[in-house]
Homo-oligomer: A and B are copies of this chain.
Amino acid sequence: MTDQSPTPAELLAARYGSDPGFDPPQWNQTLTTLLQHRSVRRWLDRPVSEDTIRTIVAAAQSASTSSNKQIVSVVAVRDAEQKRALAEVGGPRQAAHISTAPVVLVWLIDTSRIRASVERARREKPVIEYTAAEYLDEVLVGACDVGINAQNAVIAARSLGLGTCFLGSLRNDAERVGEIIGAPEHVVPFVGLEIGYADPEEPAGVKPRIPQGAYLHWDRYDADAATDVGEYDRILADYFAQYDQPGSWSAGLVSRVGPKAVKVAKRHLLRGVFERAGFSLK
């Protein structure tokens, strides 16, 4: 998104908020695109063309699919009324960027093709069943494959000069999202992805991540290294201070996993949503 391309060392230093302690043996434009990622939450009033969305979705479909199940579908929401309705589900902190995003991709865990194949096969062999739908793993496969598909969309969008923002908050009320997009019974909206042209005035940058030493382990997991994030707390506090925001990573974590956060986001109701959609989660 800039004309002056930063060096790999600069990109890595921004990503970790410190020297990562290694030199990449090779570099390319795709790595620059990946490393420069940030979420965009302020949009220019500029539409995204239908063929641009199709191109991004072709990239999403090009990703791996667990057991070739192709358990993912997506609805591209551009209608203003529908976006306002999605913004209501997202809640007050997300509403402004949801309703103003040129397009919101709603990613679905979609077993309709599996169910149709099983139904057809049962006509000849009534013993055939969709047993996988009874177990937790099927929903986890859906969640992971949505992540894999949607991330390809993120990278494709960014390579085309567009910004994105994930919306886990659509799971605050997945059934309401299903109504908004007309999803049938067995299709569960899992995550949203806003796409548009970033407002260059947005006060946000590349947010540092935990040190690579906490994230990456060699052959065996190192429990001490995994939780060695005290310095990171300071790095992230400095990052937030740049944008006049208070807080540290640890404090944010604690508030986001407590009883109040769960209830506000209605995540205690999500199991029922999946059960009603035909997943037994055994």
A interface residues with partner B (beta carbon < 8 Å)? 12, 15-16, 20, 22-26, 28-31, 33-37, 39, 49-55, 57-59, 61-70, 72-79, 82, 108, 110, 112-114, 116-118, 120-121, 128-141, 143-148, 150-152, 154-156, 159-160, 166, 168, 171, 181-184, 187, 190-191, 207, 209-210, 212, 214-221, 223, 226-227, 229, 249-254, 256-259, 261-262, 267-268, 270-271, 274, 281-282
Q: Please tell me which one of the listed residues B52, B63, B159, B207 contacts residue A25 in the complex, with CB atoms under 8 A apart.
A: B52
Task: Report the Cα distance A124→B121, complex, angstroms.
Answer: 60
Q: Is A67 a contact of B256 with CB atoms below 8 Å?
A: yes
Q: Is B150 a contact of A75 with CB atoms below 8 Å?
A: no
- Which B residues lie within 8 Å of A31 (CB)? 55, 59, 156, 159-160
Q: Is B143 a contact of A34 with CB atoms below 8 Å?
A: no
Selected A-B contacts with CB under 8 Å, 29 pairs: A12-B58, A15-B58, A15-B61, A22-B54, A25-B51, A28-B29, A30-B159, A36-B62, A39-B64, A57-B215, A64-B166, A68-B207, A68-B252, A73-B214, A73-B215, A73-B226, A75-B219, A113-B227, A120-B250, A128-B258, A132-B267, A136-B139, A137-B171, A138-B257, A143-B143, A148-B151, A151-B151, A183-B221, A271-B281
Contact (A267, B137) CB under 8 Å given A128-B258, A226-B110: yes
A253 to chain B, nearest CB (A): 5
Q: Is A168 a contact of B74 with CB atoms below 8 Å?
A: no
Task: Report the Cα distance A168→B69, complex, angstroms.
Answer: 12
Given known contacts A24-B51, A130-B258, A148-B151, what 15 new A-B pairs fall within 8 Å (CB)?
A: A12-B58, A15-B61, A29-B29, A30-B155, A30-B159, A37-B63, A61-B210, A70-B215, A73-B216, A79-B219, A129-B258, A131-B257, A141-B143, A151-B151, A271-B282
Q: Is B64 a contact of A154 with CB atoms below 8 Å?
A: yes
